[in-house]
Each structure stands twice: as structure tokens, then as C-alpha cells.
Amino acid sequence: AEGGRSVGCSGPAEPSTRGGQQRCAGAPRTPLSMQTDEALRALLQRFYALQGERVETYRLFEEGHRAYLSSAPHYDFPRYRQLVHEVTTAFSGISREVLQLQGRLRGELGRPDLAQHLTRLQEREQEKLQLVSAGHGGVSIRSCRLIKTIEAISEILQDLKYDSEEAE
């Protein structure tokens, strides 16, 4: 496509939601492309809901850890161990579902660019969890590395938002 025009279009081309393919501006959307756009929007909504669950799980984890520390000198370790188990189960389920969404983006929705954002995000979320858990062992939770990891997660989420805006 030369000069912003798609081959076979008389007007300017506009990007579609499928891997940079273009369609003619003003051209009617096919039922298939509308279904794909709708599926992509639903997938992104689910992803952001999962991120919200992650945030809430971290909040509960921090709250539980503070409660555990405040129970000194008679620490309630069984209750804290149960919290850690529940948090681990929650994060595992969230990660598993994000990986499924990532696979759908890469495959049926033809958006490997967005799938790559989810890959990067999963890596940073894993790093964040390790740093937060280490912080619960007595190391400062506000370490420079944790802050940089949180900033990287925010950047990835911004990139994902920007790159997926055409689906909104």
C-alpha cells in the first residue's frame, strides 16, 4: 500500500485489528472482522479484570502480612501459612488465565504484538511477586528493584492500552 492507500482502495487505508492488515476507510466491516473486534475487546476486558484481581490479591497479601507481624510475640503462623497458600493459588489461577488469553491473541485473534505485551507483563509480575515475598522475609519491600519492576509493569500496561486502542 503506497501513500496511505490500501491496494484496491480509492481512499485512505485504515488499520484493522488483525496484525496490521488494512482495510479501506469507510468500507463496510465484514461480520468476521466485527466478530474478531468484539472478541478482542472481550479478551482485553477480561485481561484488565484479571489485573484488578492481581492488585486486590497483593492488597490482601500485604494486609495479612501486617496482621501477622502485629500478632507478635505470639505469631499466628498457621493462619499466615493459609494466607500464603490462598495468595499463591490466586496468582497461579490468574497467570494460567493470562497465558490462555496470550495464546488466543497469538493464534485465533492474530495479534502477536499484544500477546508479546502479555508475555512481558507476566515476566515482570513474576519478578514483582518474588520481590514482595522476599520483602516479607524482612528485606525492605520498597527496594529500588521492586519500584523499577512496578514501573515496568505500568509501562507495559500503557503500551498494551495504546496498541489495543483500535479495538475499543
What is the tens place of the pLDDT at every residue in 31-62? 667 778 899 999 999 999 999 999 999 999 98
- Place 156 in a pLDDT band, splitting at 50, 70 and 90: very high
Give residue 32's pLDDT: 63
- The phi-psi region of residue 18 (left if phi > 0; otherwise alpha if psi is between -120 and 50; otherwise beta) is beta
- Place 132 in a pLDDT band, splitting at 50, 70 and 90: confident
CA distance 102 to 115: 5
- Place 66 in a pLDDT band, splitting at 50, 70 and 90: confident
pTM as predicted = 0.71
Residue 118 near residue 102 (C-beta atoms within 8 A): yes
CA distance 83 to 86: 5
The pLDDT mean for the chain works out to 80
pLDDT per position as a tens digit, 98-126: 999 999 999 999 999 999 999 999 999 99
